Amino acid sequence: MRYNRLALSILFCLSSTLNPLFSLPANASVKSEGIEIPAEFADMYAGSTEHFTFELASATEQVSIELNSTPTSASLNSASLGRVEQYLSRYYVKKESIFEIVSAMKNIATSSLCQGKVSECSLMPERYAFTYDFEQKHLTLFINAGLIDSHKAAKSFHDATNDQYGAINSINVNYHYFSDGGSSLIARDETLVGLKYGSITSSIYADTSSDKFEAEQLSYDFESGNRRFQMGHFKYGYEQNSTSFMDLSGGYSQDVINYSSSKNLIDGGKQNNRRLFYILPNKGRIEVYRDGHLIHSQNVDAGQQSIAFRDLPYGSYTATIVVVSSGREILRERQQIFNNSAFSLNKSEYDYSFSVGILNDRYDDVEDTLDGQSRELRAFQDKLGYRIDVDSFINAGIYKDTNGLVIDSYFESINQSQQLELETNNFIEGKAAYQLTDSIMLGGRVLSNSDNTMAEIGFKQSINDVSTAQLKYASYSNGSQFIAADANFYNVGVGYEKFDSADSDYGLDNYMLSNAGYERLNVNVSSNILGGQGYLLYVNNRVDGDNAPGQFVDQSNYWSVSAGYSHSFIADSTINFSATFQGGDSFGVNDDWYAGVQWTVPLSANWSASSSVSISHQGLDEFRNSVANDVQFGDSLSMNNEVGITYNGTGIDQNMNSDLSSNISYNDEHIMSDTYAYISSDGTSSVSTSLNSTQVLSGKGEFYFTSQKSDSYIIVDADNQNSLDAHRGLLSVYNDNSLSYNQNIDTEDTVIPVDKYKAFNVRLDTDSSNYISDQAHETTGYSLPGTVISLGIDLVKIKTFISSFDDVNNKAISHVQCSGEGCVDVEKIEEGVFKISVIAGSDYQLISQNQTCVTPSLDRDLTYIVNTGNNYCLPGLDNDEALTLVRDNKLEPVTIDGSEYYFVGVFTNETDLINTGRTLSDVGLTVITRIVGQRKYIYATNESSLTAKQETVLNELSLYAKSLIKQDNFANNWN
């Protein structure tokens, strides 16, 4: 019988903790499976009703249910059927799946997918699976994500109330100077004010070259649940839900009230990874303009560079890309930018948007709309060699056609552009988007004013994570039509637009698209080819001016093909090839092309040499050699300087110039700035610089600076009371339980930009620092626009030191305690050796069995752990203890190990020490001196009873000892 029990125990353990060999229903018997059960275990395997905890794997809650159980299997008791169904419903398990799971619970056993201990199994089943732990009375259900109703699960919205609101102001200043074109200062100030309910946004733009000062945006935005309300002035449109893919190319200014659906409080959306590539022959700068407004600029090195769409403003629009190098503009082209919400809906879900408002006149600023013609006038001025005052040009009656530039048409178009206005500016709009499948979205849109109505349909498909395609068709009641297609497949992007303008009357169609029909094709390709990186850009824009309202046309015939290839070469060098072929109205009779090759060779870690050749239809255009040096000044400032010699021109018109250019970048926690400067021996010079800074005002009225722009911030204010010890601890930020920031902080203020519409947990761990705080070390928050999540901690400096302690008899102390407000921790390292942490500057006292443990005075500003060496725990020093020692003006002894000790005093003056020791010795007392730091503690002892003379001497000296006890200056812990 004994062996039968052992065998059954082994079988029981295997069945309950390892992959079960037997799966029996509750009404089955082990005997039926061919297993002989000893009589004393028969009741166990007959089955009984017991309470089990039941959980859905990774769920936050558990539920108690009744199972008819045996050690190897179980079945759900009918009394718990409803409880299981309700529990699974709370976690959005589909109804049909709940029915299937409950039916399967008639025969519960651990899945064969579970290998090892049941309690440690984590399964990913095709549909569902159980782990059954009979010993722990626990049942776990694992399910596939396909069994979850994603529509219902997505209905959990964050609270839109913002209790951590603040104000965020970002300023961007750009200065441009060209020796042959004057200077300009461009500034944009963007302010986001968080409110308890919603936020207010403003954007102010100013440009000294065109005397512009205007409000690009002033709006109020509020979201609650799945609804969003926006109202205000938007020069370039506003952020929307997935219906934004229905927007036509080119934003337009409007004063609008919008009501729409929103998924922001569930998911903040995605950023796309599309880029535009360029190759620069030399270091320079890339600038992006939208309707003549600078929206992005960055310094770039020579060679292949790119602009990420995510760095550009939100929306669908046509942008002008300007590349400046060697003090001159080497490329200007127009690109269609699609930078709006991607797929954010689940299958069968929809988004909607309703708007009513006023369309602002599009051509009330001539400079914005005559960019092409303005460049033609500047080209004409360049050919004459001097600038032309427009008023004097008109007054002189000069309306001649010079080199193909019709000046009278140019000025007539200015007057006509000011007359291009809608008869009525009021409008109403409705949009909807429907997620047909997980990868296909359909959309519809209607926009109308009293004169014209536009109806639009759209189709968008996601092929995979990096490939999308969309098609839009719009029809106007006046007969105009618009079609647009955009496709991105891995590294290939294609965009096509065609606008057929029905008549020459300026209407809604012209306002939204162009005052002339056009057809535009954009292609951009980038790829790794033979170990190198290549790109191809193609733009073709054709204008149909037949139905244009007057001579003013805001489009031009233009085409451009650019290609480049970059590859590593010998000696770790890099060789770049580039070619551009352009043509159209702006190029006169002949098309223009140029090509170049650049070879860059690293000379050392910070030095490099470069040689480049460029040619055009005129022949050899430029040959250049240069040397560049990179210099890093600390963590914030870097500089790249380049000196070059250039041979320009063909035939008899040749010259040689030397030049110096510099890229300077500065980036600290407060501001970010970069500058590009160029000067040449031919007199050409230019400077372009930008400065960016963001100011954050928390709800507590505290003001912070940061160089990183965002709509929400986390502020950690760790005040160390101006201590020299900079390290505060480890700062961790968790986004939905995922670590998103983890840095040791050494400054009082830490400003962290965070994505909006996300939940955060902020935690400062001071264990790695010399500080503690009795305040909360963490906080939580949800980052709505304008949110400033603040964690303020007043840090208290900790001083940690190591000391060994002996008693007055030089025996190791076995135990030390700390008393007083300055105590933090006492850790025994080994016998007689302790690690002690106290609050710097605060009172504390170390005690061991009614003895006071003394150490040398500590420097509160030192940041490292101090080894104070061997010190002592001495009797008779405690103030309270001293009151019991002094009786009838006689100093009572302290008895240790059978010996009596009399505390005489502590001395720092050597003469006093010698005289006191001589006095004690003269009366026959033994003098014991214990030295701690600069202090010397004196005790007297005698092997026999004190004589009258010895008592007299000790009583006289006790007056000094008592004064020390009252002053407590024998244990001065801090310098």
Three state DSSP letters for 725-749: CCCCEEEEEEECCEEEEEEEECCCE
- Mean predicted confidence (pLDDT) in 336-361: 79
User: Are the CB atoms for 355 and 257 separated by under 8 Å?
Assistant: yes
Would the pLDDT of 636 be above 60? Answer: yes
Higher pLDDT, 906 or 31: 906
- Mean predicted confidence (pLDDT) in 290-296: 85
Binned at pLDDT 50, 70 and 90, residue 273 comes out as very low
Would the pLDDT of 390 be above 70? Answer: no
Q: What is the reported pLDDT for 880? A: 47
Q: Scan for tokens 């809604």, then name that residue.
A: 508
- Residue 675: closest CA among 661, 686, 690: 690
Q: Convert 915-967 into a string of H (helix), E (strand) and C (coil).
A: HHHHHHHHCCCEEEEEEECCEEEEEEECCCCCCHHHHHHHHHHHHHHHHHHHH
Binned at pLDDT 50, 70 and 90, residue 17 comes out as very low
Could you count the other beta carbons within 10 Å of the beta carbon of residue 79? 10
Looking from the CA of 219 toward its CB, the CA atoms found within 13 Å total 24
- Residue 874: closest CA among 971, 766, 730: 971
Q: What is the reported pLDDT for 693? A: 96
- Mean predicted confidence (pLDDT) in 895-905: 83
Between CA 785 and CA 195 the distance in angstroms is 9
Binned at pLDDT 50, 70 and 90, residue 164 comes out as very high
Looking from the CA of 819 toward its CB, the CA atoms found within 13 Å total 12
Would the pLDDT of 400 be above 80? Answer: no
Would the pLDDT of 904 be above 50? Answer: yes
pLDDT digits (tens, 9 = 90+) for 466-513: 788 999 999 999 999 999 999 988 889 999 999 998 887 888 998 898
Would the pLDDT of 227 be above 90? Answer: yes
Instruction: Name the region of 407 (left: φ>0; alpha: ψ -120 to 50; beta: rest).
Output: alpha
Would the pLDDT of 210 be above 80? Answer: yes
Mean pLDDT, the chain, integer: 82
Q: What is the reported pLDDT for 489? A: 87
Q: What is the reported pLDDT for 862? A: 73
Burial of residue 620, with CB atoms counted within 10 A of its CB: 0-12 exposed, 13-18 middle, 19 or more buried: middle
Query: For residue 401, what are the contacts with CB-CB under 8 A and spacing of at least 6?
Result: 407
**Max intra-chain CA distance, the chain:** 131
In the chain, % of residues over pLDDT 70: 80
Burial of residue 660, with CB atoms counted within 10 A of its CB: 0-12 exposed, 13-18 middle, 19 or more buried: middle
- Residue 509: closest CA among 446, 445, 454: 454
Alpha-carbon 894 to chain mean position = 66
Q: What is the reported pLDDT for 155? A: 59
Higher pLDDT, 365 or 593: 593
For 393, the enclosing helix (H) or strand (E) is helix 390-395
Instruction: Give the long-range contacts of residues 671-676, CB within 8 A, separation 24 or more.
Output: 671/705, 671/707, 672/707, 672/708, 674/298, 674/299, 675/299, 676/283, 676/284, 676/285, 676/299, 676/324
Query: For residue 862, what are the contacts with CB-CB under 8 A and spacing of at least 6?
Result: 799
DSSP category for residue 812: B
DSSP category for residue 93: B
Binned at pLDDT 50, 70 and 90, residue 229 comes out as very high
pLDDT digits (tens, 9 = 90+) for 55-86: 988 677 889 999 998 888 899 999 999 999 99
User: Are the CB atoms for 452 and 508 separated by under 8 Å?
Assistant: yes
The amino acid occupying position 608 is: S
Q: For residue 302, what are its two tokens?
A: 């020579």
- Mean predicted confidence (pLDDT) in 301-313: 74
Higher pLDDT, 740 or 445: 445
In the chain, % of residues over pLDDT 90: 40
Between CA 30 and CA 919 the distance in angstroms is 96
For the ranges 203-207, 300-304, 401-405, the one whose mean pLDDT is highest: 203-207
Q: Scan for tokens 């005997």, then name that residue.
A: 31
Higher pLDDT, 547 or 113: 113
Q: What is the reported pLDDT for 338? A: 65
Binned at pLDDT 50, 70 and 90, residue 658 comes out as very high
Would the pLDDT of 225 be above 70? Answer: yes
- Mean predicted confidence (pLDDT) in 526-555: 82
Between CA 443 and CA 133 the distance in angstroms is 51
- Mean predicted confidence (pLDDT) in 360-371: 57
Which of 217-221, 313-317, 319-323, 337-341 has the lowest average pLDDT?
Answer: 337-341
Q: What is the reported pLDDT for 465? A: 59
The amino acid occupying position 839 is: I
For the whole model, what pTM was predicted?
0.70
Domains, in order of start, for the chain: 2-153 (no CATH), 373-417 (no CATH), 712-796 (2.60.40.10), 797-971 (no CATH)
Q: What is the reported pLDDT for 402? A: 39
C-alpha gyration radius of the chain: 41
Higher pLDDT, 521 or 896: 521
Binned at pLDDT 50, 70 and 90, residue 28 comes out as very low
The amino acid occupying position 437 is: T
Q: For residue 525, what are its two tokens?
A: 């390709």
- In this structure, are strands 558-568 and 574-584 parallel, antiparallel, or unpaired? antiparallel
Instruction: Give the long-range contacts of residues 822-829, CB within 8 A, separation 24 or more.
Output: 824/772, 824/798, 829/802
User: Are the CB atoms for 512 and 318 separated by under 8 Å?
Assistant: no
Q: What is the reported pLDDT for 270? A: 39
- Residue 297: closest CA among 684, 712, 672: 672
Q: Scan for tokens 């090195």, then name that residue.
A: 301
Q: What is the reported pLDDT for 723? A: 81
- Mean predicted confidence (pLDDT) in 220-249: 91
Would the pLDDT of 451 be above 90? Answer: no
Higher pLDDT, 525 or 1: 525
- Mean predicted confidence (pLDDT) in 451-468: 86
pLDDT digits (tens, 9 = 90+) for 726-751: 888 999 998 866 788 888 988 889 99
Q: What is the reported pLDDT for 16? A: 41
Which of 625-629, 780-784, 855-859 has the lowest average pLDDT?
Answer: 855-859
Binned at pLDDT 50, 70 and 90, residue 419 comes out as low
- Mean predicted confidence (pLDDT) in 180-187: 88
Which of 150-154, 227-231, 787-791, 830-834 has the lowest average pLDDT?
Answer: 150-154
Q: What is the reported pLDDT for 13? A: 43
Torsion of CA 412, 415, 416, 417, to 10 degrees: 120
Q: What is the reported pLDDT for 303? A: 65
Would the pLDDT of 3 be above 70? Answer: no
Would the pLDDT of 181 be above 80? Answer: no
Would the pLDDT of 406 be above 90? Answer: no
